[in-house]
């Protein structure tokens, strides 16, 4: 991993012949490296994964395993097809796998995970030129594909499996229950994660724990979750004021349910597909938050994070272009 060029000293006086020139700066920070950032994401996902395994047992384990293995294989295969250098060691394909595994219904059949992973890596990433080149969040591309192709496994009924041991997942997801039946899930359940949903999104607490770690490490930019949660909270709060839900579904429910927090901390923060400047990042987050709420209020889908992220990914180059910072001293 480290540079190998080095002239060895073999006895005798030390002379300047041992010296290699280079350009400034001659020192570099090792606090953040691309690999370390990927490792940080893994670490931050631990509470989320733990919660997923607690609630969905082997269903969640199976779904994550399928996605990670297929993502890694797809990356290896496609990169080989393109005659590009081996890229599994950067860890990004594994992260796509984990995020995807955590955002598909745990009980969805295996082929759904396989296809989602192939699409995520193949169409979401490699087609654009691999890591750093893709426009859309790969995991969300994969998820969107299966969401439309296999609506039955991905929509409301996909989550409900009466044969499961854990009580929570025999019920509808909080957003479905609210949208279809007007049933409001208690806030403590949303907070701790005792509800149905995608394995990664159920526990608000786990998302906050991992998310705060990511932001403190500066691996994720805090501006994105801040923009997203602020805007979603604002729109949710305004709705509560103008036309409160008759059954008592409030902005707090909105913020704690569905993929709002998982999306804010782990999906929208993908650096490759989000803007460069701090202000751009906030605008991006705000856009994701706003579109999520619009989709939740007005679309046929109960949840909107995935489409909101993809939509904002598409306008990221525009945001970058709008938010070029003013050079210091420029008039």
Partner 1 sequence: MSLRLKGFAGSGTFPRGVHPPERKHFSNDAPIEPLPIPEKVLLPLQQHIGAPCKPLVEPKQLVSYGELVGKSEKLISATLHAPVAGRIQKMAVTTLPNGRHMQAISIKVEGDQLEGDALMEDIFGGDWPTDIADRYDPLDITGAIAEAGIVGLGGAAFPTHVKIVPNTMKPVDTLLVNGCECEPYLTADDRLMREAPRPIVSGALLAARSINAKTIIISVESNKAEAIEAIRRAAAGTGIKIAVLTTKYPQGSERHLIKAVLNRIMPLGGLPADVGVVVNNTATMAAVARAVIKGKPMTHRVVCVTGAGIAHPKNLLVPIGASYRHLIDHCGGLTSDIARIISGGPMMGFAFTDLSMPITKGTGGVTLLTHEDVKHSNETTCIRCGRCVDVCPMHLVPAKLAQAAKFRNIALAEKYNIAGCMESGCCAYICPANIPLVQLIRMGKAMVAADKKNT
Residues that bind partner 1 (CB under 8 A): 1-3, 6, 9, 13-30, 32-37, 90, 92, 130-133, 218, 221, 271-272, 274-278, 281, 320, 324-331
Q: Least distance in Å: CB of 132 to partner 1?
A: 4
Q: Which residue do the tokens 């409301």 mark?
A: 156
Which is it for the CA torsion 1, 118, 195, 308, positive or negative? positive
Q: Least distance in Å: CB of 91 to partner 1?
A: 11
224 vs 235, which CB is nearer to partner 1?
Answer: 224
31 vs 242, which CB is nearer to partner 1?
Answer: 31
52 vs 94, which CB is nearer to partner 1?
Answer: 94
20 vs 242, which CB is nearer to partner 1?
Answer: 20
Q: Least distance in Å: CB of 15 to partner 1?
A: 7
2 vs 243, which CB is nearer to partner 1?
Answer: 2
How far is Cα 168 from Cα 202, in angstroms, rounded to an integer?
10
Q: Least distance in Å: CB of 208 to partner 1?
A: 22
Q: Which residue do the tokens 């990004």 mark?
A: 92
Tokens of 32: 């953040």
Q: Least distance in Å: CB of 255 to partner 1?
A: 26
Q: Least distance in Å: CB of 321 to partner 1?
A: 8
Q: Is 149 helix (H, G, I), strand (E, B) or coil?
A: helix
How far is Cα 41 from Cα 30, in angstroms, rounded to an integer?
17
| Cα–Cα nearest to 52, from 61, 44, 43 | 61
131 vs 206, which CB is nearer to partner 1?
Answer: 131
Residues 323-326: contacts with CB under 8 Å, at least 24 apart = 323/275, 323/277, 323/279, 323/280, 323/283, 324/277, 325/277, 325/279
104: how many CB neighbours lie within 10 A of its CB? 28
């Amino acid at each position: 991993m480290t540079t190998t060029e080095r002239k060895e000293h073999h006895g005798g006086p030390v002379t300047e012949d041992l010296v290699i020139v280079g350009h400034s700066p001659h020192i570099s920070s090792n606090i953040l490296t691309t690999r370390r950032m990927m490792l940080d994401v893994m670490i931050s996902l631990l509470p989320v994964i733990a919660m997923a395994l607690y609630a969905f047992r082997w269903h969640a384990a199976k779904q994550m395993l399928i996605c990670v293995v297929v993502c890694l294989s797809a990356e290896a295969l496609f990169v080989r097809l393109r005659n590009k250098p081996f890229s599994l060691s950067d860890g990004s394909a594994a992260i796509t796998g984990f995020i995807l595994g955590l955002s598909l219904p745990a009980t969805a059949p295996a082929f759904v995970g396989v296809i989602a992973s192939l699409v995520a890596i193949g169409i979401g990433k490699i087609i654009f030129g691999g890591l750093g080149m893709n426009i859309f969040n790969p995991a969300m591309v994969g998820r969107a594909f299966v969401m439309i192709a296999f609506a039955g496994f991905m929509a409301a009924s996909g989550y409900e499996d009466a044969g499961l041991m854990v009580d929570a997942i025999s019920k509808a997801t909080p957003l479905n229950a609210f949208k279809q039946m007007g049933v409001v899930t208690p806030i403590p359940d949303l907070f701790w994660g005792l509800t149905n949903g995608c394995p990664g999104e159920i526990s608000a607490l786990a998302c906050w724990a991992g998310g705060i770690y990511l932001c403190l490490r500066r691996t994720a930019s805090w501006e994105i979750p801040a923009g997203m949660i602020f805007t979603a909270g604002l729109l949710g709060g305004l709705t509560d004021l103008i036309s409160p839900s008759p059954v008592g579904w409030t902005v707090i429910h909105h913020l704690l349910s569905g993929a709002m927090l998982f999306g804010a901390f782990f999906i929208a923060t993908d650096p490759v597909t989000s803007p460069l400047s701090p202000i751009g990042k906030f605008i991006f987050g705000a856009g994701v938050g706003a579109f999520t709420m619009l989709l939740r209020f007005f679309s046929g889908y109960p949840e909107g994070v995935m489409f909101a992220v993809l939509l904002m990914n598409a306008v990221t180059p525009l945001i970058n272009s709008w938010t070029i910072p003013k050079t210091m001293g420029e008039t």
